[in-house]
Homo-oligomer: A and B are copies of this chain.
Amino acid sequence: MDFFEVVDTQRAIRRFRGEPVGDEVLARVLSAATRAPSARGAEPWGFVVVRDPGRRAAIASLYRQAWEAADAFTRATDADRDVRDRPHYTRMMTAAGRLATTLADAPVLIVCCLDHAQLGPIAGPDGALRSPVAAYASILPAVQNLCLAARALGLGTTLTTLHTAFEPQLKALLAIPPTVEPVALVPLGWPSDRFRPTRRRPVSEVAYLDAWGAPLLMH
């Protein structure tokens, strides 16, 4: 599949059909994830592929509670007031809320992890991050590769981070070692929804020439 067709049509997929995801496509998606860059070329990542229905249900239950707490906080503080009137907002929130009640229906959950013990000078001896930016730049590009590769194969994903609200429970459930941080929780499956081109603000509104706010003139 053409690279730009993949990039231009990768959107959050939050409903999945029941069919299982085969080992071969899963391996291809994970291989693409590992092609990403990382600080020092250390490849400080690990991916826990959760297929077991019991563990998926346990994660889904924790995720739902985290969603409800986050949703209540956002409403109470009116923290989405800046985006609430944008065209995508209502549909996105409805879909995200539904995902929070149906996460266990995704046939695969991929927990993408960063090992602080493989960050060299970026983390201190206690694992604390000296440069959070450098650390997360060594795992989130891999997560994006994973989501794009899934799209290229017709698989749907969505990048979520709400698990940070129940990180200790998630780590216990999946036997994740103390130095390892789950950074993204990615449900994956054959999509119920269709892929289609995403809508975004035009480049002219978000890119500048030589200084913030200066128009990027295109000749």
Q: What distance in Å separates the Cβ of A135 from its nearest Cβ neighbour in chain B? A: 9
Is the pair A121, B176 in contact by a Cβ cutoff of 8 Å?
no
Contacts of A34 in B (CB 8 A): 200-201, 203, 206
Is the pair B212, A164 in contact by a Cβ cutoff of 8 Å?
no
* Interchain CA distance A136-B132 in the complex, whole Å: 9
CB-nearest residue of chain B relative to A129? B132
Q: What distance in Å separates the Cβ of A182 from its nearest Cβ neighbour in chain B? A: 9
Q: Say yes or no: is A198 at the interface (Cβ < 8 Å to chain B).
A: yes
Given A203-B34, A209-B51, A212-B176: A82 touches B164 (CB 8 Å cut-off): no
Q: How many residues of A contact B (CB 8 A)?
A: 94
Contacts of A210 in B (CB 8 A): 48-52, 55, 174
Say which one of A2-10, A97-105, A188-196 lies at the interface with B.
Answer: A2-10
* Interchain CA distance A208-B47 in the complex, whole Å: 6
Q: Say yes or no: is A118 at the interface (Cβ < 8 Å to chain B).
A: yes
Contacts of A155 in B (CB 8 A): none
Contacts of A144 in B (CB 8 A): 36, 140-141, 144-145
CB-nearest residue of chain B relative to A214? B175
Is the pair B74, A203 in contact by a Cβ cutoff of 8 Å?
no
Is the pair A82, B120 in contact by a Cβ cutoff of 8 Å?
yes
* Chain A residues numbered 117-137 whose CB sits less than 8 Å from any CB in chain B: 118, 120-121, 131-134, 136-137
Is the pair A152, B4 in contact by a Cβ cutoff of 8 Å?
yes
* Interchain CA distance A12-B141 in the complex, whole Å: 13
Contacts of A36 in B (CB 8 A): 144
User: Which of B1, B133, B206 interacts with A46 by CB under 8 Å?
Assistant: B206
* Interchain CA distance A40-B217 in the complex, whole Å: 29
Contacts of A89 in B (CB 8 A): 40-41
Q: What distance in Å separates the Cβ of A176 from its nearest Cβ neighbour in chain B? A: 5
A137-165: CB near B (< 8 Å → 1, else 0) gives 10011011101110010000011010010
* Interchain CA distance A210-B47 in the complex, whole Å: 10
Is the pair B175, A212 in contact by a Cβ cutoff of 8 Å?
yes
CB-nearest residue of chain B relative to A74? B121
* Interchain CA distance A40-B48 in the complex, whole Å: 26
